[in-house]
Structure 1
Amino acid sequence: MKVINLGERSSVINSYMAQLRDVEVQKNRTLFRRNMQRIARATAYEVSRTLQYSEKAITTPLGVKQVPTYDDRIVVGTVLRAGVAFHEGFLDTFDQADSAFVAAHRDEGKREDIKIHVDYIAAPQLDGCTFLMVDPMLATGGSLELSYKAFLTHGTPAKLHICCAIAAQEGIDHLCRVFPDDVTLWVSAVDPILNDQAYIVPGLGDAGDLSFGPKLD
């Protein structure tokens, strides 16, 4: 699997990530979601540079112009609920894309006791598409792996891009073991470790709670 760490470059993405992590800025829930969307749009732009393009004849009020536009049939898939704001950012860029959703959650507790459950899936036919699997947080990689397997019940994409805002190195290593070489992982920040509860450290907290409010266990 090819790993592209956008955080290694000097770009505005790093400023968005700084705000996402800041405990004071996180008090503004609207801004937290907006920064997720900003990172998603910036990542989507980078992904767009890898697509297949061909020229199409576009009729303007004064004539016809050949314009190169992408040919890929794009589907954006995400894990509910933390991924919703991130998902919206990708749809802002790929405004003709279809969407797919899966509900996955893990049992909280010690890392060795964590179990992941998939409860719901809604997706179009995925055969032959360019599939963007977008999830803001990549911790162990287990829920993302299981969610993608659930999406495969709706067909096999021609190309797969995995897009995350923040990832733990352990999660990246796991995905490199389970996904083939032609898959690309795009990430905006990489943190070194997971704690005993498998949370990314230093991380940014719970993206779902920070976006939409705390939930009952």
Structure 2
Amino acid sequence: MFTGLVQQVGRLERISFQGEAGRLALAARFDAPLQIGESVAVNGACLTLVEQRGETLVFDVLRETFEKTALRDKAPGAPLNLERALRLGDPLGGHLVSGHVDGTGKLRRIETAGRDKVLVVAAPALIAEIVPKGSIAIDGISLTVVDVAQADGTFSAHVIPHTWSQTALAALAPGARVNLETDLIGKYVLQQAANAAKTPPAVTWDKLRDAGFLA
């Protein structure tokens, strides 16, 4: 589990595959040493550390993860947002992020609002799970949704100057794909509502009548 607060920005070194299994190597320096087997969110995708050589960190990555996320668009040298997994007792400064990317969106444009940046992202496949003032992780960064345009499948999120300068967001340009993870609690609520809609009611007028409660 993660919080969506980026701790370091690494640089992609390489991604290689043998069949469905692959390795992603990046360069990064954390304040505290990492442990083999540790989970790290890489642009929002939870990956497992399998090797460490100096500042080079190597992670296992499935081809499915690679194909279904925006990691496949990254070239060597690209900046990547990194966050170590949340530990018991750590402060929850952002929101609960699982590291399981729901899908990708396309950055439509970057606007300016005072000192903030405003990201306008098209994500029609996920728009039903995105609500104004709710939380969303964009490339692993916890942000608050400002507006949602259901008709054209877009939403906007503000980025404060500190977040803009301390993450890989500044390297994005319109047209770039970004990893999206919608609000964890919101997804559970939507799923429960969908299941409830499919389940026949336990009590109906016919059942009451058959039981003799109605004439």
TM-score, normalised to structure 1's length?
0.26
Structure that is richer in strand per residue: 2
Structure that is richer in helix per residue: 1
TM-score, normalised to structure 2's length?
0.26
The structure having more radius of gyration, on CA atoms, is 2
